[in-house]
Amino acid sequence: MKAFVVDKYQKKGALRLAEMPQPDVGDNDVLIEVHAAGVNLFDSKLRDGEFKLILPYRPPFILGHDVAGVVMRVGSKVRKFKAGDEVFSRPRDGRIGTFAEFIAVDEADVALKPDNLSMEEAASIPLVVLTAWQVLVERAGLTKGQKVFIQAGSGGVGTAAIQLAKHLGATVATTAGAPSADLLRGLGADIVIDYKKDDFEKILHGYDLVLNSQDAKTLEKSLHVLKPGGKLISISGPPDPEFARDKGLNIVLKLVLRLLSRGIRRKARRAGVEYSFLFMWAQGEQLSRITSLIQSGVIRPVVDQVFPFEKTNEALAYVETGRAKGKVVVKVR
């Protein structure tokens, strides 16, 4: 099968289009013929080597974290899916590789594709909407009447999180460039701050939750918009000791991550708020719950561009510019 491969960790290094063996199918696996694959900034960071200490993939490996396609065959213990099913998934860490013609995914990480979405739209969903769900629902327990600040609203996670937070009954503030303001208000944002003109720290106060996806400076400023007891949840780091413990990292890495996050954890305590880091995980059951929201129109995909499979490197480069509104997708079949 054809696949785009990381030959070595290298910043902005090109992926190689290679002939790779079709994946083996384990007892609990679903073999998916890939029709479309979502492209994420996480893909480029993984290729650059930013996560090699906690996600030690050995090159060469196939990149890609979002898939929509058709089940070709299933393992002997699979009960939820059968050949011919249209599905989508965010494969679990250690088993990624959606920039390919086929991928084998654990049944637990797969859900039936929403029937009102195209393959390209479905491929844009898993990683970003699961991230939004795990921050807002699983970790924060966001409820009606609360206020949430979602940074970078026009990005993949931002467009998903705004819609989910509004569905949960929250007041939603976000940041974006002026050209994106109407899009984000249409998705449910109550307050859209032009980050090029205004400082969110001076506008927002008394918030229950901040979803941080930006740099260390923005992370620290976010402390000031929260009310006492509020939660600052970051998906861009720094990882905290709880994350190190959950991932079962060795003692050296646990110490490193404790030191990296010590400053923001200390400042959060002084401000009377809670800091935590979330590294999203694959979860087919959550994806199935999200499917019902998609089919009812509560959440809709926001797709900026669809690239042909052979232009996967160009798609990744476009994501890295930060100009995409919503998601970028590669059409494989």
Task: Check residue 4 and give its pLDDT.
Answer: 98
Q: Report yes or no on 295 lying in a domain.
A: no
CB 139 within 8 A of CB 111: no
Q: Kindly state whether residues 31 and 61 are assigned to the same domain.
A: yes
pLDDT digits (tens, 9 = 90+) for 98-138: 999 999 999 999 999 999 999 999 999 999 999 999 999 99
Same domain, 235 and 308: no
Residue 290, domain member (yes or no): no
Domain count, the chain: 2
Residues 313 and 204 in one domain: no
Residues 232 and 133 occupy one common structural domain: yes
Alpha carbons 144 and 30: distance in angstroms, whole number: 38
How does pLDDT run across 64-84, given as a tens digit for each residue?
999 999 999 999 999 999 999
Domain that holds residue 217: 127-277
pTM of the model: 0.97
On the 0-12 / 13-18 / 19+ scale of CB atoms within 10 A, 314 is middle
Is 326 in the same domain as 310? yes
Mean pLDDT of the chain: 97
212 falls within a domain: yes
Question: Do 31 and 55 belong together in one domain?
Answer: yes
| Cα 33 to chain centroid, rounded | 22
pLDDT value at position 333? 93
On whether both 153 and 94 belong to a single domain, the answer is: no
Q: Clarify whether residues 114 and 133 are in a common domain.
A: no
One domain, residues 176 and 226: yes
In a domain, 284, yes or no: no
* 292 found inside a domain: no
CATH of the domain at 207: 3.40.50.720
CA gap 46, 89 in Å, rounded: 19
Residues 115 and 9 in one domain: yes
- Say what percent of the chain tops pLDDT 70: 100
Helical packing angle, 41-48 and 312-321, nearest 10°: 100
Residue 97 lies in a domain: yes
DSSP codes, 100-152: BSEEEEEGGGEEEPPTTS-HHHHHTSHHHHHHHHIIIIIIS---TT-EEEESS
Q: Residues 103, 177: one domain?
A: no
Residues 10-62 pLDDT 10s: 999 999 999 999 999 999 999 999 999 999 999 999 999 999 989 989 999 99
Q: pLDDT value at position 53?
A: 87
List, for residues 150-187, the tens digit of each pLDDT value. Answer: 999 999 999 999 999 999 999 999 999 999 999 999 99
Q: What is the pLDDT of residue 317?
A: 98
In a domain, 258, yes or no: yes
265 with 135, same domain?
Answer: yes
Structure tokens at 138: 């699983």
> What's the 3-state SS for 249-272?
CCHHHHHHHHHHHHHHHHHHHHHC
The reported pLDDT for the residue numbered 179 is 95
Domain at 80, CATH number: 3.90.180.10
pLDDT one-digit tens code per residue, 206-228: 999 999 999 999 999 999 999 99
In a domain, 296, yes or no: no
Q: Is the pLDDT of residue 305 over 90?
A: yes
